[in-house]
Amino acid sequence: MSSALPDIDPEEDTKIFVPLPEGNLLVVMPPLLRTWLCALARALDAAATAEQGPMSLNLFGPVNPELDQDDVVVVLQRQMAVDAATAEVLDNSTATEITIDQGFDWLRVIQLGLRAVSGPLGDQLILELDVTSELLASVLSMLSFDLCEALSL
Amino acid sequence: MEHLLAASAVSPAPSLSDTGLGTNVAVLERVDTAVELPYEVILWDDPVSTMALVVIVLKRVFHFSTEKATELMMIAHETGRVVVWAGDRAEAESYCVQLHTFGLSATVSSS
C-alpha cells in the first residue's frame, strides 16, 4: 500500500476543518489527503492490534513507569480506543461534515500518526505513505493545529 | 480522594468439631483489610504537543473548564509535570490511556 502525500503546503493558511454554527465541523480536505489519512489510520490500526507491535509501549510509554509492561486491561483499553478512532476515520473518510465526537477521533489518529513519526513506527509509516518524515510531520502538525483550533471554538 | 479496599482476606472458618461447642455456633469471620492510597494521573510536558491540544484534551477527558485545563497545562509546561487527577487505580489507568491515545505523555503513580 502506498499513498503519496498530496501537494499541500503546510505553511499555507489552509482551513481543513471549519466549525459550523450548529456545532459540527465542515471538512474541506482534498481527496488525496483523505486517501492518505485512511492509509495512516490503517497502518496505526495494524500496529495497535499486533500482538507484539511496537505501538504498545514504545509509542505510548507504559502507564506505570515502574513496570516493564502494561497489564492486559490497559493494553486492551488502548487497542479499543485506537481501533475506534481509526474505524471512525475509515468509515467517514469521504464525509464533508463531522460531529465534534468524530472530530476528536480524527484528532486521535492525527496525533498518533504525529507521535509515530519520531518513534519506532516512523520508518514503517514513511515507507507505507511514500513521504519523507519531515513532510509527514509538517502535514500532520498542520492538521492537528487546524483541528484543535476548530474544536476549541 | 477516593480510597479503595485493596485486599480482603477471609480466614477459613473453623469446623464445629474444632470448636468443641457443638451446634448453633455463630462463626465469626476475620476480615483483614488494607486501604490503598490513591493513584495520580501525571501529565508530562512534551515538546510535540501544542498548548491548544493539551487544553482541549484535558477538557474532553476530564470535563474540566477552560480555565482549569489552561492552568494545569501551564503548570505542566513550566514545571515539566502536573497531577491532573487522583483516585482509584483502574480509573487512573483508564484516564491515562485516554491521554495516551491523544498522543500526550502521561503516567500513573501511587501518591
Local confidence band at A62 (pLDDT 50, 70, 90 cut-offs): confident
State whether residue B101 sits within 8 Å of chain A by CB: yes
What is d(CA B40, CA B111) in angstroms, rounded to the nearest whole number?
A: 6
> Are B64 and B21 within 8 A, CB to CB?
no
Q: What is the pLDDT of residue A40?
A: 87
Query: B29 and B65 share a domain?
Result: no
- Same-domain status, B67 and B79: yes
Q: What are the structural domain ranges in chain A? A: 17-140
The whole-number average pLDDT for the span B53-69 is 97
Q: Say yes or no: B50 and B30 in one domain.
A: no
CA-based nearest distance B9→chain A, Å? 23
- Dump pLDDT digits (tens) for A93-143: 999 999 999 999 999 999 988 887 766 566 666 666 667 777 888 889 999
Query: Are residue B58 and residue B25 in the same domain, yes or no?
Result: no
- Residue B101, domain CATH: 3.30.1390.10
Regarding whether B101 and B69 lie in a shared domain, the answer is yes
pLDDT at B9 over 50: no
Q: What is the pLDDT of residue A121?
A: 60
Q: What is the mean pLDDT of chain A?
A: 81
Instruction: Over range A69-89, report the average pLDDT.
Output: 87
B26's grid cell: 455463630
Name the grid cell of A146: 487546524
Are B57 and B31 contained in the same domain? no
Domain shared by B65 and B44, yes or no: yes
What per-residue confidence (pLDDT) applies to B63?
97
Quick one: which H or E segment has residue A126?
helix A122-129
Q: Are residues B96 and B50 in the same domain?
A: yes
Backbone angles phi, psi at B42, to 5 degrees: -105, 125
- The domain of B64 spans 39-110
Interface test with B, best of A60, A82, A106, A108 (most B CBs within 10 A): A60
pLDDT the model gives residue B45: 92
- pLDDT above 70 (res A152): yes
**Whole-model pTM?**
0.78
Give yes or no: residues B26 and B57 share one domain: no
Q: Closest Cα to residue A151, out of B6, B55, B88, B87?
A: B55
Task: Please tell me whether residues B57 and B27 are part of one structural domain.
Answer: no
| Same structural domain, B76 and B94 | yes
The number of folded domains in chain B is: 2
Q: Alpha helix (H) ranges present in B2-105?
A: 16-19, 51-62, 66-79, 89-101
Q: What is the pLDDT of residues A85-101, one digit of tens each?
A: 999 999 999 999 999 99
Q: Say whether both B61 and B103 belong to one domain.
A: yes
Residues of A at the B interface, defined by Cβ within 8 angstroms: 60-66, 73-74, 77-78, 81-82, 85, 104, 107-108, 111-112, 114-115, 118, 144-145, 148-149, 151-152
ipTM: 0.83
CA distance A78 to A12: 34
